[in-house]
Amino acid sequence: MRLTSVVRAGIATAAAVTAALAFPAVASAHVTVNPNTAVQGGYTKVTFRVPTERDNASTTKLEIAIPTDQPIASVSTRPVQGWTAVTETSKLATPVKREGGDEITEAVSKITWTAGAGAEIKPHQFQEFDVSLGPLPQVDQIVFKALQTYSNGEVVRWIDEPAAGASAEHPAPVLKLSKKTDTAAASTTTSAGPTANASGSSSSSSSSSDGTAIALGIAGMVLGLAGLVMGVLAYRRRPVA
């Protein structure tokens, strides 16, 4: 009877530790941009990852705002099966000169992806939307405010600025930009311009994040099982009354 109690306690401990370690990965399930770093002045491909966090509704639309205070001259989308992408442009208050010397008077300010029938992001699934951007402005970061629309009409506004910190309930996707100081830094950005290959797999940073979550979960299970084994051994070593 006592052995059964020890086993049950060990299993409960394993479950509790695993849940505690896995919680950060679950809590961070929001609209993100991957990779979340790039180099100023270069071209890059970013991926907006959109999970559906509702049990009774699917994601049917994603809207991403592209800031125009530091406009990006070239913005192009990669087709997503079953989804339609529409870009909107806005007039610039001050024209911006491109590398070729010509001026741009308007720039893409918004991208909207809308799901066709059957292509919605179902509960507990996610979809990725690729965008090619460049040249990237000479700023520290780009904040892409996002709106996620569900099939029940709910709209989640992922617009909280980075200043809100870790306590932000709906953080906006943020792309950090570093200065181009050497060839090593330049290698983090696609150098082939707006026609660069966009068929690569998910970014290394997002893969690293996923790998970290998995590792934490496994670590929790190992710790729990270790506790179970130690409990059983301790029980067996008890002197017989």
> pLDDT digits over 95-128, tens only?
877 666 678 899 999 999 999 999 999 999 999 9
Residue 139 makes CB contacts below 8 A (sequence gap 6+) with 40, 70, 177
**Tokens 């932000």, residue located:** 168
> What's the confidence (pLDDT) of residue 183?
42
Are 26 and 42 in a shared domain?
no
Are 171 and 146 in a shared domain?
yes
> What's the confidence (pLDDT) of residue 199?
39
> What's the confidence (pLDDT) of residue 51?
97
> What's the confidence (pLDDT) of residue 8?
58
Angle subtended by helix axes 2-27 and 204-236, to nearest 10: 170
Stretches where the chain sits below pLDDT 70 are 1-29, 98-101, 164-166, 182-241
Are 139 and 164 in a shared domain?
yes
Euclidean distance between CA atoms 130 and 199, whole angstroms: 9
> What's the confidence (pLDDT) of residue 196?
39
Residue 69 makes CB contacts below 8 A (sequence gap 6+) with none
Q: What is the pTM of this model?
A: 0.66
Are 232 and 136 in a shared domain?
no
Euclidean distance between CA atoms 136 and 195, whole angstroms: 15
Domain hosting residue 42, numbered range = 36-200
Q: How many domains does the chain have?
A: 2
Residue 48 · residue 129 · CB < 8 Å? yes
Residue 33 · residue 174 · CB < 8 Å? yes
Are 194 and 231 in a shared domain?
no
